[in-house]
Amino acid sequence: MKALRIVAFALGGVVALLAAVAVFLVATFDANKWKGEIAQLVQEKKARSLRIEGELALSLFPSIGVSLGRTTLSEHKSEQVFAAVDMARVSLRLLPLLSKQVVVDTVELEGLKARIVRFKDGRLNIDDLMGKDDKEPTPRFDIAGVKLAGGELAWRDEKAGQEVALSGVNLTTGRLANAASDRFSLEARLAGSKPKLAAALKAAGEYRYDLDRKRYGGTKLDLRLSGDVADMKALELALAAAALQLAGANELAIDQLVLTAKGKEAGDAFEARLALSGVEGKSPSLQAGKLTLDLDARQGETTLKGSLASVLSANLDKQTVELPAFKGELNVAHPQMPMKSVKLPLAGGLRADIDGQTAALHADTQFDESRIAAKVNVSRYSPLALVFDIDIDRLNVDKYLPPDKGASGAKGAADKPIDFSPLRGLNANGTVKIGQLQVANVKAANVRLEVKAANSRLDVATAGATVAAMKKGLGGTASVNLRETKAVFSARKDAVVQAQQTEKTDFPNCPPPSASPTAWRAMTI
């Protein structure tokens, strides 16, 4: 009993001593002194101004913590505000302190706002805050979790002329340390330009990373986006991945990634599903030994199904992607097609420079009796600018047209408004060569079409928004490059019309293109 009393008195003394120390620390804590010293340190080390406008307070129970009110941080060597927070609280776990270990319990942030800028020369306004010296040891940290409420993050890319803003950001994470794995959840609203963006974002999953070994990844990832993106309205986009892994800047592994989307574009409903698997590679510029893509899409009554396999080469720093040799097939179906569906084998190559907005594609395919070779070079993504060359050995268009609906059906089709919106901003120049062509029972050989589209104009000398109006408004001439033309009309199926290479067909009942300010230039065919 005496021993127990001695222990009790000893414990009581320790508690009293700790309480006295706590009272002393709280009583002598000089918030203004700490504000000044912290601001001076930030100015000396980072050349940024830190202003703690709100209250700086110290708490000891139930855990040691520091909280502060309204605080702002300036841009590098500038007084312009880079980031601000309405309230922040950091608490430390007590037990690890006894063994001289600092473990942050939780970090809580309310009303955090930050703006990240990529300048035209490629620099970021946060470069000075990010350690770039590999010789310096990575600072050790251990945080039990982060809670962010009501955050805002803005991104401006002056080089690409792009702006994206996240608002209403609510983020919750598990443990964060030099190496950690845990769960996260994220909610935010997105708004931006190039492309136009107004959508809600939700994401969740498990993360796994190791800063020292430069390994980053996640499992059971689920990302959902709903809203308007570019010309797609009421978009519902979902991305799920069983596992993603990135080691350094050159090793990537993707397991069972599935992208699904549905919405409306130009008033038409669409659905699409894309599956990606078998991606893993390692080299100075990322190489994936096997890439598999599966497509399942529908727009209106048209359905698309296909698959593609290729080696993948990519460079994350230069933002380039290359499929040097792909193979696959595409199945197109529509109820009004005479054969209902067409199967297209695909073979070719693709290279894209995302940052430079350029791409090059060459592809070969064959359907029915036609063999097609195509080359496309894109010099700008938005607005789209491209040059193309298409070579077809033979094409019988009559086989793929829907059945004739008679005069009433033809009149209805002629009066149906034509949607020219896809031409807006398009800049395209190209050549279509057809060895043997049949259209409306008219046969032609060695046909060459020169196609140009710019400033919302396709080089046809006409005006009007319907087929009938365009026929009435036809003006000018269309150059015809034919070596031999066979006319097939009723009983005269064997009649042959020889045409000179520069023979022209006139539209005598129409004014020349210059006569009307709304008329377009003549199409060269």
DSSP 34-85: HHHHHHHHHHHHHS--EEE-S-EEEE-SSSEEEEE-SEEEEPTTS-SEEEEE
Give the integer Cα–Cα distance in Å for 259 and 274. 5
Kindly report the backbone phi and psi dihedral angles of residue 145, in degrees, each rounded to the nearest multiple of 5, phi listed first.
175, 160
Give the integer Cα–Cα distance in Å for 274 and 294. 5
Interval 176-202 mean pLDDT: 92
Interval 233-255 mean pLDDT: 84
pLDDT of residue 513: 38
pLDDT of residue 219: 94
Among the listed residues 261, 274, 269, 328, the one whose alpha carbon sits nearest the alpha carbon of residue 302: 269
Q: What is the mean pLDDT of the chain?
A: 76
Number of domains in the chain: 1
Q: Coil, strand or helix: which one is 17?
A: helix
Residue 139 has pLDDT above 70, yes or no: no
Kindly report the backbone phi and psi dihedral angles of residue 472, in degrees, each rounded to the nearest multiple of 5, phi listed first.
-65, -30
pLDDT of residue 512: 41
pLDDT of residue 460: 39
445 assigned to some structural domain: yes
Give the integer Cα–Cα distance in Å for 9 and 12. 5
More confident residue, 476 or 202: 202
Residue-wise pLDDT for 422-446, tens only, equals 566 678 888 888 888 888 787 888 8
pLDDT of residue 200: 97
512 assigned to some structural domain: yes
More confident residue, 184 or 251: 184
Q: Which residues pair with 294 in a beta bridge?
A: 275, 307
Domain that holds residue 447: 368-525
Give the integer Cα–Cα distance in Å for 312 and 292. 10
Q: How confident is the model at residue 525 (pLDDT cuts 50, 70, 90)?
A: very low
318 assigned to some structural domain: no
More confident residue, 493 or 85: 85
Q: For residue 43, what are its two tokens?
A: 């100015």
More confident residue, 86 or 414: 86
More confident residue, 415 or 323: 323
382 assigned to some structural domain: yes
User: Residue holding tokens 């520069």?
Assistant: 502
Give the integer Cα–Cα distance in Å for 406 and 399. 17
226 assigned to some structural domain: no
Residue 453 has pLDDT above 50, yes or no: yes
Residue-wise pLDDT for 250-309, tens only, equals 677 888 888 888 888 877 788 888 777 767 766 556 666 677 778 888 877 888 888 888
50 assigned to some structural domain: no
More confident residue, 268 or 215: 215
Q: Is the CB of residue 250 less than 8 Å from the CB of residue 286?
A: yes
Q: How confident is the model at residue 468 (pLDDT cuts 50, 70, 90)?
A: very low
Low-confidence winner among 102-106, 111-115, 199-203, 372-376 (lowest mean pLDDT): 102-106
Long-range contacts of 290-293 (CB under 8 A, 24+ apart): 291/323, 293/328
pLDDT of residue 282: 65
449 assigned to some structural domain: yes
Q: For residue 275, what are its two tokens?
A: 């599956």
Q: For residue 294, what are its two tokens?
A: 């599966």
